[in-house]
Amino acid sequence: MTVDLGEYAGGDDEFFADPYPVYERLRAIGPVHHVRVPGSGGAYEAWLVVGHEAARAALTDSRLVKSPAALGYENLESSLIGPHLLTADAPEHGRLRKLVAREFTPRRIERLRPRVQKITDELLDAMVPRGRADLIEALAFPLPFVVICELLGVPDIDRVMFRRLSTQVVAPTGGEEEYAAFVELAGFLTELIAEKSRSTPGDDLLSALIRTTAEDGDRLSPTELRGMAFLLLVAGHETTVNLIGNGVRALLTHPDQLAALRADPSLLDGAVEEMLRYDGPVENSTYRWAAEAVDIGGTTVPAGDAVLVGLASAGRDGRRHAAPDDFDIRRESRGHLAFGHGPHFCLGAPLARLEGRTAIAALLERCPDLALDGEPDAWLPGLLIRGTRRLPVRW
């Protein structure tokens, strides 16, 4: 049986706005389902893993491959952008991750803390006197965008243009617009890397990736550099945009939890983990494909079929989290799968957490009577990124 997710929710828009009741119904039946995925580019089918334990196992199963080329499938992203961590399997994935991880270190991220705070303060200086704002436009997007651009050493670029292209990539509407977004991003990144290669090396991350060489002489090729720059630029800000947006929305719709956090700021770290579990920014993993017939949670996925691992659904699995639909910032939320699990665990998780904690702490301090200013609207389509295009707030 194939479940149409849109029909199950009463419509595609209803599903994008609140997929959790659908995931709950599916988990009650079993941990894995063959589904029809809604999307304006045309519905497509895949196996969706909705249970926590099955999801955790699937994320470490080497029979579920990330490279569509391994099965002879074409992939728009790989062909136009280049290989990166989310489109590679072992041993190539390990090679790429090692080359990037040697530069994307916890020490480098920790050095960003004062700069993240300064950017946050400057954005709030501009926002607070206005009394109301779209939080996505005023804080949630520009903070991680400026941070990742500075980290990579990307010169000032058109934020409106980049936001449009990035959103089209992570929440595609399909057709010519999606293709054009990849083409435009590929051209921008190719020129950026060429310029970086010609200029005097800086201390930014992209310059470091261009010149880094492993002990055996290995280094990233031009197409690998483009793929990694793409991943770091897009994933490096999209996750935090929606961590901040979804997290603030959860607080504002749960006034008891907001009051508890205001009364005891030491709860912030746990609150951010609960935000990630309760309504995290990555709804489902990027695609995997079964290299052979694979048993997942008692269901056989045929060779060649596509698989989505439900990170958001796993976070609401009552077998792993008691009262999973309750938002409780004192909950022990560690062990959630919001940043994945296993070899593809998000390399940028420490940066996203740093930015999320900094932004939310500063926002609550500067806006003591923060409230929603109408309903969030324009939920992002697709099953990858969970969030809204706008989040109107007032204070």
For 29-41, how does the pLDDT look when each residue is reduced to its tens digit (9 = 90+)?
999 999 998 864 5
Distant-in-sequence, close-in-space partners of 206: CB < 8 Å, separation ≥ 6:
152, 153, 154, 192, 193, 196, 225, 229
132: amino acid identity, one letter:
R
What is 2-394's CATH number?
Answer: 1.10.630.10
| Model pTM score | 0.92
Nearest residue to 379 via CA among 4, 3, 6, 2 = 6
Nearest residue to 395 via CA among 123, 128, 140, 124 = 128
Sorting pLDDT into bands at 50, 70 and 90, what band is 173? low
180-192: pLDDT as tens digits: 888 888 888 888 8
Residue 378: count other Cβ atoms within 10 Å of its Cβ.
13
Sorting pLDDT into bands at 50, 70 and 90, what band is 244? very high
CA distances from 98 to 102, 338, 351, 372 (A): 6, 22, 18, 43
391, burial (CB in 10 Å: exposed 0-12, middle 13-18, buried 19+): buried
Please report the pLDDT score of residue 75 as a whole number: 72
Give the distance from CA 105 to its chain's centroid. Answer: 19
Q: Say which DSSP state 101 is in.
A: H
Please report the pLDDT score of residue 342 as a whole number: 95
CA distances from 178 to 168, 169, 173, 181, 195 (A): 6, 6, 7, 5, 26
Q: How many CA atoms lie within 13 A of 194 on its CB side?
A: 6
Give the distance from CA 221 to its chain's centroid. Answer: 25
Quote the percentage of the chain above a pLDDT of 70: 96
Cα–Cα distance measured from residue 39 to residue 13, given in angstroms and rounded to the nearest whole number: 10
CA distances from 239 to 167, 211, 294, 364, 365 (A): 12, 27, 30, 20, 23
Q: How many CA atoms lie within 13 A of 149 on its CB side?
A: 15
16: tokens are 């994008």
Residue 49 has pLDDT above 90, yes or no: yes
- Provide the 3-class DSSP secondary structure of residue 315: helix
Q: Rounded to the nearest 10 degrees, how much is the dihedral formed by the CA atoms of 109, 113, 118, 120? A: 80
Q: Is the Cβ–Cβ distance between 310 and 43 less than 8 Å?
A: no
Cα–Cα distance measured from residue 32 to residue 212, given in angstroms and rounded to the nearest whole number: 42
197-228: pLDDT as tens digits: 887 777 888 888 888 765 567 788 888 889 98
User: What mean pLDDT is predicted for residues 264-292?
Assistant: 97
Residue 149 has pLDDT above 80, yes or no: yes
